[in-house]
Amino acid sequence: MVNENRNPEDSPAISESWEIGAYNAADNARPKPRRRDPHRRDRIIDAALEVISRDGITGVSHRRVAHEAGVPLGSMTYYFSGIHDLLMEAFTRFTDQAVADYRQQFVDCTTLEQARAAIVRILTDSSYMDPHNIIIGSELYSQSTHDPRFRPILLAWIHRCRDAFRIYFDEPTTFILDAMVEGVSMHRSLEQDIHSAELIASAVELLTPESSFIYDPAKAPAPTAED
């Protein structure tokens, strides 16, 4: 005869099932530890640069960048306050890397011929001339004309690149070389076969007479591989 007043929890099978269910419910209620992904923020910034290069600034969205980076959509607002914040971080990273590559071309340069060769390398055989990077740089220029909040990043990039020339050349030559690099990089990205390395080298030589070379290791030593 079944005791209708018996508590179902008194049954061993039912009691065990109830306890397991209660344990699982409690376990699910506990906050789970965040999966370690220390490079997620960096991947998001790199992904933003990929989207800028492919789709332009107008194509940058939280969803598109998250997909490119392979991260949850919620990560976007966890690491960045908004699209503007992400773009600022992305362009800052881009310009830092561009300046580092610029300086790398001048490592251990101490003569006029070596400095000239470095400028030719910038315009023919460096990441500065990568079409991906030229597009991103162009987007930064364009955005800076519309939104003054981006201008400090652009101006810092320009002046830091000029500083690499100032170690070797007087101020008028530095100004001319900077303008040449900016213009030729854009033109050569569209007409690479027209602007040969030989033509670039001839132009650099014409713009850098011996009298313009002012390198003095006591005042401004040449960059080294450790810089």
Q: Per-residue pLDDT tens for 152-166?
A: 999 999 999 999 999
Q: Per-residue pLDDT tens for 198-207?
A: 999 999 999 9
Q: Do 203 and 117 share a structural domain?
A: yes
Q: Do 143 and 47 share a structural domain?
A: no
* Count of alpha carbons within 13 angstroms of residue 14, beta-carbon side: 6
Distance CA 213, CA 148 (A): 35
Q: Average pLDDT, stretch 114-133?
A: 91
* Domains contained in the chain, number: 2
- Asked if the structure places residue 166 within a domain, the reply is yes
How many residues are given for the chain?
227
User: Last residue of some domain: 20, 55, 80?
Assistant: 80
DSSP 8-state code for residue 35 = P
Q: Average pLDDT, stretch 117-138?
A: 90
What's the gap between Cα 163 and its chain centre?
20
Question: 175 is in which domain, residue-wise?
Answer: 93-212
The helix, strand and coil proportions of the chain, stated in percent and rounded to the nearest 5, come to 70, 0, 30
* Predicted TM-score of the model (pTM): 0.78
- Asked if the structure places residue 86 within a domain, the reply is no
Q: Do 108 and 42 share a structural domain?
A: no
User: Last residue of some domain: 80, 109, 133?
Assistant: 80
User: Last residue of some domain: 28, 48, 80?
Assistant: 80
